[in-house]
Amino acid sequence: MRSIKTKLLGLGMAAAMLLSLAGCNLSTPSSVGTIGGVEIPAGVYLLAQYNAYNTASGLAELATGETANDVKAALKAQCTGTIGDEEVTATGAEYIEKLTQRSIEYYAAVETKFAELGATLEDAATSEVADTVDSMWESNGALYEANGIGKSSLETYLLNAQKASTILSLVYGPQGTEPVSDEEYTDFINDSCYYIESVQIPLVDYNTYTMADDTQKTQIQQIAEECRQQLSEEANSQTVSSSALYQAAATYVPQAMEALGATMEDASQAVYYAGSQLYTPDDVASYGGEDYNNLTDPLDEAGMNQWTTVDLGTTILVARRIDPFKTYTIAQLTSMYDLLTALKGEDLQNQFYADGAAMEHALDEGAMKTYSASNIKKNV
């Protein structure tokens, strides 16, 4: 039988261990210091670092068999990418450090400007964040927790993004300190945007997710050409021609579906394949390669108001570029599209990065080492 003395010694050691663990928890830094007087919560830092890891691991030159989930490998690998206007080549760990600092500098700059303006978030914005947090937590809450990121930290991080959006409106909006003029919007739309009306002729059977084979694609290309000819005859004005678009979609989309071996249960669904849209520079860029833009180059070659066919891989677009001002006013276009963000969002974002970098940094190196990227977990 164990002696009372041995039992007491065991209890004493257990108590000591609990006190030691409690002491560790109490000493875990709640923040990593300040930038410009703005405290950077530990959870916000960890989330910025986790996001930075995901970016860096996607750029990492990993050995055969290694994946982005191999944290140790990604931290040692060479990464090459663009941070701001700078081309950066560094180890994964260094790349993550640079991205993380840039992110928390941005966070601090937004918080500072928001306070300077005496701004508040609307209920709709906070509700949107709450809903987004709930959704993200339901999907990845266990992974966030494994990386030391609490739900409240995720909410704080997303609220910061809403504050940036509010600042954009307070500075450049109609009642802002530097409101964008109608002339600026007009030049932006004419010089940098594309207003396109189109009918989408599918090359994929979305019931089975089967791509058209060569024979089917040739047949569908002919259908698209017939659609183009009809629109060239019936929609040849310089204004939006919704009825002609919907009629063409109702005629030719079911034919393309039939060529794919599929059927459209309700012919009225064809209207969803027709429409018109203003494409901002970001929209346009998503179709671009190094030397060729799959969407805009064919439209430029055809010329304004001229219908052409554009092969986008999963669909053949029967489309043309038109002048939106033949149909809409600036006020209507700004109500239909987020042109303020498209025009001024990047400028303001760059200003936040510059302001944050210029602020006084009082960061706790010890705290940041405690939250080293080597502790990142990609699986739970």
Per-residue pLDDT tens over the stretch 67-115: 999 999 999 999 999 999 999 999 999 999 999 999 999 999 999 999 9
Percent of the chain whose predicted confidence (pLDDT) is above 70: 93
pTM: 0.84
**Type of residue numbered 363:** L
Q: Which of 44-58, 277-291, 323-337, 344-358 has the lowest mean pLDDT?
A: 277-291
Residue spans per domain, the chain:
7-178+353-375, 193-326
| pLDDT at position 11 | 35
Q: What percent of the chain has pLDDT over 90?
A: 86
pLDDT digits (tens, 9 = 90+) for 309-325: 999 999 999 999 999 99
Q: Mean pLDDT across the chain, nearest whole number?
A: 91
Region 161-182 average pLDDT: 97
pLDDT confidence of residue 66: 94
- Residues 6 or more apart in contact with residue 79 via CB below 8 angstroms: 56, 59, 60, 61, 88, 89, 90, 91, 92, 95
Shortest CA distance to 276 belongs to which of 173, 156, 373, 193?
193
In this prediction, residue 291 carries a pLDDT of: 86
Q: Where does the pLDDT of residue 15 fall: very low under 50, low under 70, confident under 90, or very high at 90 and above? A: very low
Structure confidence at residue 60 (pLDDT): 96
List all residues 6 or more positions away from 228 whose beta carbon is below 8 Å from its beta carbon.
307, 308, 309, 318
Task: Give the per-residue pLDDT at 27.
Answer: 59
Lowest mean pLDDT among 175-184, 254-263, 354-363: 254-263
Average pLDDT over residues 138-144: 96
* Mean pLDDT of all residues in 136-159: 97
pLDDT band at 231 (very low <50, low <70, confident <90, very high): very high
DSSP category for residue 324: G
pLDDT recorded at residue 207: 85
The model's confidence at residue 21, banded by pLDDT at 50, 70 and 90, is: very low
pLDDT band at 169 (very low <50, low <70, confident <90, very high): very high
pLDDT at 7 over 70: no
Within a 13 Å sphere around the CA of 112, how many CA atoms are in the beta-carbon half?
Answer: 23
Per-residue pLDDT band at 270 (split at 50, 70, 90): confident
Residue 269: is its pLDDT beyond 90?
Answer: no
The pLDDT of residue 290 is: 74
- The backbone torsions φ and ψ at residue 279, rounded to the nearest 5 degrees and listed phi first, read -100, 120
